[in-house]
Amino acid sequence: MKKKKVNLRDLEPKEHQGEHSHDHSSAKEVSNFRTYLPAIFSFVMLIAGIAIDYFDAFPFFKGWIRLLWYTVAYIPVGFPVIIEGWYSIKNGDFFTEFLLMSIATLGAFAIGEYPEGVAVMLFYAVGELFQNAAVNRAKGNIKALLDVRPNEALVYRDGDYISVSPESVEIGEKIQVRVGEKVPLDGILLSKKGSFNTAALTGESKPDTIAKGDTVFAGSINLDGVIEVQTTKEFKDSSIARILDMVQNATARKSKTELFIRKFARIYTPIVVFLAIGLTFLPYFFVNDYVFRDWLYRALIFLVISCPCALVISIPLGYFGGLGAASRNGILFKGASFLDAITKVNTVVMDKTGTVTKGVFKIKEIKPFTFEETEFVKYLIAMEEQSTHPIAKAILEYKADGSDYEATNVSEVAGKGLKGTVNGKTVLVGNKALMISNKIKVPSETDGIVESIVMVSIDGKFAGYVTIADELKDDAHQAIKQIRDSGISKIIMLSGDKDSITQQVAKELNIDWAKGGLLPEDKLNEVEELKQQPDTRVAFIGDGINDAPVLAASGVGIAMGGLGSDVAIETADVIIQTDQPSKIARAIQIGRSTRKIVWQNIGLAFGVKVIVLILGAGGLATMWEAVFADVGVALLAIFNAVRLHKMKWD
């Protein structure tokens, strides 16, 4: 008797399960609210304080009471930044944007400009929130890779099949795999035959039918009947475990992109700090009526003006706009850094099955020789109705209402096809080997056919053939053209499918170079070799588990998300959620538009800051003007970033 693994979650009443879902959603909403609560509190306190100042509503709102009010408004957004700056200094990194923000805002407090100190730090906090929201919304977790591993194995012990963890199964034990389940460990097939979907492992579009004694790989999906397998490897050494290990190693080789503002602050912050110090003390040697307080005031204005809030807001907002525009177009970037990375790509490498093809068998051509097509199809379908082979299913889908004829005495010739009787005629349906073994003369025109071919003979004569092929996606040709139009210099196809089919698809799509029959490690090696070439920036596009190592190792990994495997989706940097390869060129366009707007914002912020900094150093700008100029630039940058939401791509 088979033991079924019970999930305690399934035992709960439906209404209780719904409550759990609601509780989880509510908890998430509370967590999000708490994230924004400090900024909201500071904003309310700031606006209230400014209103009281402006209308002079409360005469007692002066001195230490006013200082205390704005200090309370400052602490929720300012204290985390000050602490971060302190830890940076302790770690030997003195000049960071945290230090500059702390000095500038505390300086504003020191000269009595409390609202400005709060406002500047509040802008900084909001900018950080935008940054985190953009990255966290899209970023995946490599730990999710473990979810694609088979989580149970039915192993034969003590006269019964019991459910255990695959890690506990030893070499030589017998396991059972039911229809639709993944094979949990590598082994040898004990059953008479088996049909497996290995597309996720090899990229092979055609299901793999094997006989007793052949090797079965972990991660393959059993398509037809309950089978038994004798394990030959422990789980840690199985095919799927090796692929997952390659994914993790490839991910470790990927360098982490550092935020631009952090790099910039290493140069910008020390310059501004030393200029402010110089502005405070150097005039003593050159000005006759030097007053320390006046020059300190100018230096603090200088620091407030130089606060990078416009940059801090405009940069993440620009990327956030790009991420939003991509999402509306069915494209998910896992982080702002990949919007930049995709703009540098000049070589696109793609898988075939599931990427530019649908990964579904369809009849491509019906070629009868001795019968009319309608009559020929009736004989063919009558025979295939007796088979459960995936190719037979593809043929039956061609004519959903079946055949008027009935096949009898049907027997399977192992590894070759079917033999039976239809309308009193002996009919053979199968491969070339079946025809030759029955002394049927096969036309030479079939020799050059690269697709899967099903041959038919009726009463000892070759009656015709049907070719079965994986269809190109509707927008495959458009995708390749648009990728070229976007400036990509080289397009390459690497596939686990047989080389003849790969070359045919590559030729049809006008792809520069192609190679088939590749194992996962072969694909990885090919991409690693490409990366070694000077000035080559590689993006890889795939959908199967076998593509995951390459997705992780490439400069930009792009996964087909609609029908693609979970492991490929979790490993990739960019997900095409609609499964349309034509979205690849759009992803490149969005990346370039985002980068353009971000640099426009940077140029705007720098240009205005340089002008106002000079005015501030000369005593021509007050604290209010400095804050207004900085906030104004931030608003302009925000409006510029919002344009990404309105853009349309062809």
Catalytic residue among 340, 351, 573, 579: 351
CA distance 601 to 635: 10
Cα separation, 607 vs 322, whole angstroms = 24
Q: Which residue did the predictor score with more confidence, 299 or 72?
A: 72
146 in a domain, yes or no?
A: no
What is the model's pLDDT at position 460?
Answer: 92
* Domain-located, residue 451: yes
**pLDDT over 70 for what percent of the chain?**
77
- Specify the pLDDT at position 259: 54
426, 433, 430: which is closest to 461 by C-alpha? Answer: 426
- CATH number reported for the structural domain that contains residue 459 in this entry: 3.40.1110.10
- On whether residue 388 sits in a domain, the answer given is yes
Mean pLDDT over the full length of the chain: 79
Residues in the chain: 650
Q: Residue 272 domain-assigned? A: no
Specify the 3-state DSSP secondary structure of 4. Answer: coil
Per-residue pLDDT, averaged over 132-152, amounts to 51
Question: Among 452, 472, 492, which residue terminates a domain?
Answer: 472
d(CA 84, CA 504) in angstroms, rounded, equals 58
In a domain, 32, yes or no: no
Residue 154 pLDDT class (50, 70, 90 cuts): very high
Question: Which of 457, 472, 487 is the last residue before a domain boundary?
Answer: 472
Q: Please indicate, yes or no, if residue 204 is contained in any of the structural domains.
A: yes
Nearest to 194 by CA among 162, 167, 230: 230
Average pLDDT value for residue range 521-549: 86
Return the SS3 of 316.
helix
| Domain count within the chain | 2
Q: Is residue 170 part of a domain?
A: yes
DSSP class of 167: G
515 strand-pairing partners: 494
Categorize the per-residue pLDDT at 439 as very low, low, confident or very high, splitting at 50, 70 and 90.
Answer: very high
Cβ-contact 571, 557 below 8 angstroms: yes
Asked whether residue 380 is assigned to any structural domain, the reply reads yes
Is 459 assigned a catalytic role? Answer: no
**Quick one: pLDDT at residue 574?**
85
pTM of the entire predicted model: 0.60
Enclosing domain of residue 431: 359-472
* CATH number, domain with residue 178: 2.70.150.10
Which helix (H) or strand (E) is 619 found in, with range?
none
pLDDT in tens, 379-435: 999 998 888 676 787 788 777 666 688 899 999 887 788 999 999 999 999 988 899
Phi, psi of 60 (to 5 degrees): -80, -5
Question: Domain boundary residue among 418, 441, 472?
Answer: 472
